[in-house]
Amino acid sequence: MSPKTKVFSLLLSFSFLLFSCGKDDSPTPEEEEEEILGTLETVKTYGGSGIDEAISVVEAADGNYMVFGTTRSMDGDLAGRSGNDSDYWLLKVSKTGEIIWNKTYGGTDDESASRITATNDGGYLLSGYTTSNDGDVSGNEGFQDYWIVKINASGNIQWDKNFGFAGSDQAYKAFQTSDGGYFITGFFDVSASGGAGNDAHTQTGNEFQRGTLHGVGEFWGIKLDANGSKQWRRYFGGSNNDRSYDAHETADGGFLMTGTSESIDFDKTDPKGSYDYWVVRLTSTGELVWTKSFGGAEIDNSYASIIANDGNYIMVGDSRSADQDVTDPRGNADAWLVKFDDNGNKIWQKSFGGSQFDTAHSIVQRNNGDFILSGHSRSNDGDLQSNNGYNDAWIFVVDANANLKFQKSVGGSGLDFVSEAIETSDNKIIAVGNSESNDLDIPTNRGSKDFLFIKIK
With respect to residue 430, please indicate whether it lies within any of the assigned structural domains.
yes
Distance CA 32, CA 394 (A): 26
With respect to residue 175, please indicate whether it lies within any of the assigned structural domains.
yes
With respect to residue 84, please indicate whether it lies within any of the assigned structural domains.
yes
With respect to residue 262, please indicate whether it lies within any of the assigned structural domains.
yes
Q: Give residue-wise pLDDT tens across range 386-427.
A: 999 999 999 999 999 999 999 999 999 999 999 999 999 999
Q: How many domains does the chain have?
A: 1
Q: Give residue-wise pLDDT tens across range 35-78.
A: 888 899 999 999 999 999 999 999 999 999 999 999 999 999 99
Q: Give residue-wise pLDDT tens across range 180-237.
A: 999 999 999 999 998 899 985 544 444 544 555 677 899 999 999 999 999 999 999 9
With respect to residue 335, please indicate whether it lies within any of the assigned structural domains.
yes
Rounded mean pLDDT, 276-293: 98
| Host domain of residue 383 | 32-456
Write down the mean pLDDT value for the chain: 91
Lowest mean pLDDT among 59-73, 211-225, 267-281, 348-362: 211-225
Provide the pLDDT for residue 33: 64
Q: Is the pTM of this model over 0.85?
A: yes
With respect to residue 344, please indicate whether it lies within any of the assigned structural domains.
yes
With respect to residue 2, please indicate whether it lies within any of the assigned structural domains.
no
Residue 317 sits in a domain whose CATH number is 2.130.10.10
Provide the pLDDT for residue 5: 41
With respect to residue 18, please indicate whether it lies within any of the assigned structural domains.
no
